[in-house]
């Protein structure tokens, strides 16, 4: 029992000793802080006295600058070192502190002046070199930023911001392999950097690694900042792959973002209109094109597309002629041939299609006044039909021994082409005449069918 009491007493004495020692140390530490604060205050008072007598006193400015810079009073530090430079005090430390203070205040031109001056006098300071490299990047001097940042990297190989700016600099000068390497390393340290992730996807795209690019852009679609641009890129990739429904989903997600920039919204709507035109859904495309016109009447060729496609939207046969599959296009052309000559018996003997550019239909025509073999050419292009196309058509007429030719286009026919056909039995049907045919062909075909039905009865 006595030994137990003795042990407890020893423990209590030790505890009290430790508490007392900690109290004394705390008092000493507090005293040190007070002394340091008093030292700064005294130094600043001395500096202010000197500057009151001479606002450009170098010693007073240096004393005040030391205090301001150490206390991170950047505005006061900047003004102090600016005055020192004006007095001709332009050594390394003055330039360094002037540049770093300006950098903290967002005064980038002044920061560049200070950091450039510091680097000219001493080139191995990490903070100076890193910030100067960043400034060169922001100024678009990527070739100058890279060697500076490479030097910074030798001092700290894992410094994520340095790796990031190196990667983005290489991307700007189109060295995508190097850019990918540095951006990947930076993202190992800072994986939440969405801007770098977006740039990495752009690198993949430039390197024709489309699948990897599309995966990253798809991941970024919900991001409030990078999302609209990512949706635009992802949708464009899917559009080029002919995955139109997926592309529409991408573009629509982009438009759902809040606070989307006007130019991004316009481009997303323009792309949506383009993909709907690819799907021959002209009404939906026109809705987006008209929205673009309301927001920006001069945006790209939106106005021209509205003018072209609203006419197309009102004429189903014109849509088929220009946009439908070859089989639907040929079916329409057959209908036109069968109704082209009034009170005629028509027998189609041959149909040939040249890619998706035109269709040639050979028909035996028997009317009350004449009979002949007629070749029809239907040209799908909305552009101008030149002499070479008509020469080819005429040669084809000779091959099949057709006595007459009819060439139809929704575009125009050049003067040279018209001159070529003047002495030849070729009728030219341009846009306006073809529109009239397309508007009436269904009614004529229905009447023809009804008439032939009565005849059979």
| In the block, residue with structure tokens 């990739």 | 237
Task: Give the angle 93-143-171 at the CA atoms, nearest 5°.
Answer: 120
Is 52 within the bounds of a domain?
no
Query: What whole-number percentage of the chain has pLDDT above 70?
Result: 90
The answer for residues whose C-beta is within 8 angstroms of residue 219's C-beta and 6 or more apart is 197, 230
When the pLDDT of each residue in the chain is averaged and rounded to a whole number, the result is 89
Is residue 36 predicted with pLDDT exceeding 80? Answer: no
Q: How confident is the model at residue 448 (pLDDT cuts 50, 70, 90)?
A: confident
**Who has greater pLDDT, 382 or 161?**
161
* Domain span holding position 149: 58-315
Domain endpoint, select from 315, 333, 364: 315
Do both 96 and 200 map to the same domain? yes
Task: Verify that 341 and 294 share a domain, yes or no.
Answer: no
Task: Count Cβ atoms below 10 Å from residue 130 Cβ, excluding itself.
Answer: 22
Q: Mean pLDDT over residues 111-121, rounded?
A: 96
Find the CATH number of the domain harbouring 398.
3.40.1350.10
- Whether residues 304 and 373 fall in one domain: no
Torsion of CA 76, 81, 82, 87, to 10 degrees: 130
Same domain for 160 and 304, yes or no, is yes
Is residue 382 very low, low, confident or very high in pLDDT (cuts 50, 70, 90)? confident
pLDDT tens-digit map of 214-262: 999 999 999 999 999 999 999 999 999 999 999 999 999 999 999 899 9
Number of compact structural domains in the chain: 2
DSSP state of 369: S
Query: Which tokens in the block code for residue 138?
Result: 């922001």
81-87's contacts with Cβ under 8 Å and 24+ in sequence apart are 81/114, 82/110, 83/55, 83/56, 84/58, 86/56, 87/56, 87/58, 87/61
Whether residue 11 is contained in a domain is answered as no
289 assigned to some structural domain: yes
Looking at the structure, tell me whether residues 439 and 296 fall in a common domain: no
125 within domain boundaries: yes
Q: Which residues of 190-214 are buried (b: 16+ CB within 10 A; e: fewer)?
A: eeebbebbbbbbbbbbeeeeeeebb
Q: In this structure, is residue 181 part of a structural domain?
A: yes
For 292-332, the pLDDT digits (tens) are 999 999 999 999 999 888 888 888 898 899 888 899 999 99
- For 351, the enclosing helix (H) or strand (E) is strand 345-354
In degrees and rounded to multiples of 5, residue 91 shows phi and psi of -80, 175
């Amino acid at each position: 029992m006595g030994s137990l009491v003795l042990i407890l007493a020893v423990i209590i004495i030790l505890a009290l000793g430790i508490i007392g020692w900690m109290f004394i140390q705390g008092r000493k530490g507090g005293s040190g802080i007070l002394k340091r604060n008093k030292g700064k205050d005294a130094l600043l008072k001395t500096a202010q006295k000197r500057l009151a007598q001479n606002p450009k006193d170098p010693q007073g400015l240096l004393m005040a600058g030391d205090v301001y810079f150490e206390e991170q009073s950047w505005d006061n530090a900047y003004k102090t070192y600016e005055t020192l430079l004006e007095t001709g005090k332009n050594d390394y430390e003055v330039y360094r502190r002037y540049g770093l203070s300006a950098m903290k205040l967002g005064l980038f031109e002044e920061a560049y002046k200070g950091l450039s001056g510091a680097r000219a006098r001493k080139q191995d300071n990490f903070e100076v070199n890193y910030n100067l490299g960043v400034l060169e990047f922001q100024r678009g001097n990527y070739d100058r930023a890279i060697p500076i940042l490479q030097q910074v990297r030798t001092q700290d190989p894992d410094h994520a911001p340095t790796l990031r700016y190196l990667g983005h600099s290489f991307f700007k000068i189109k060295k995508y392999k190097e850019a990918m390497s540095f951006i990947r390393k930076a993202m190992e340290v800072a994986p939440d950097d969405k801007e770098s992730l977006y740039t990495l996807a752009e690198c993949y795209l430039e390197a024709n690694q489309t699948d990897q690019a599309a995966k990253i852009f798809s991941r970024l679609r919900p991001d409030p900042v990078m999302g609209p641009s990512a949706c635009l890129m992802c949708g464009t990739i899917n559009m080029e792959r002919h995955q139109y429904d997926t592309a529409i989903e991408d573009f629509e997600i982009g438009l759902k973002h809040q606070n989307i920039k006007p130019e991004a919204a316009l481009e997303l709507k323009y792309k949506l209109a383009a993909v709907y035109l690819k799907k021959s859904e002209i009404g939906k495309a026109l809705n987006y094109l008209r929205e673009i016109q309301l927001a920006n009447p001069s945006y790209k060729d939106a106005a021209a597309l509205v003018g072209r496609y609203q006419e197309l939207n009102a004429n189903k046969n014109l849509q088929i002629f220009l946009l439908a599959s070859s089989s639907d296009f040929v079916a329409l052309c057959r209908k036109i041939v069968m109704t082209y000559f009034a009170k005629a018996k028509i027998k189609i003997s041959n149909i040939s299609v040249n890619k998706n550019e035109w269709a040639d239909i050979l028909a035996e025509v028997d009317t009350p006044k004449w009979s002949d073999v007629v070749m029809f050419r239907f040209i799908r292009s909305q552009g101008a039909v030149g002499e070479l196309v008509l020469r080819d058509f005429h040669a084809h007429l000779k091959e099949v021994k057709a006595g007459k030719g009819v060439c139809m286009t929704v575009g125009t026919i050049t003067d040279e082409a018209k001159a070529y056909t003047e002495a030849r039995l070729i009728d030219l049907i341009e846009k306006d005449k073809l529109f009239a045919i397309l508007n009436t062909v269904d009614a004529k075909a229905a009447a023809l069918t009804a008439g032939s039905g009565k005849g059979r009865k």
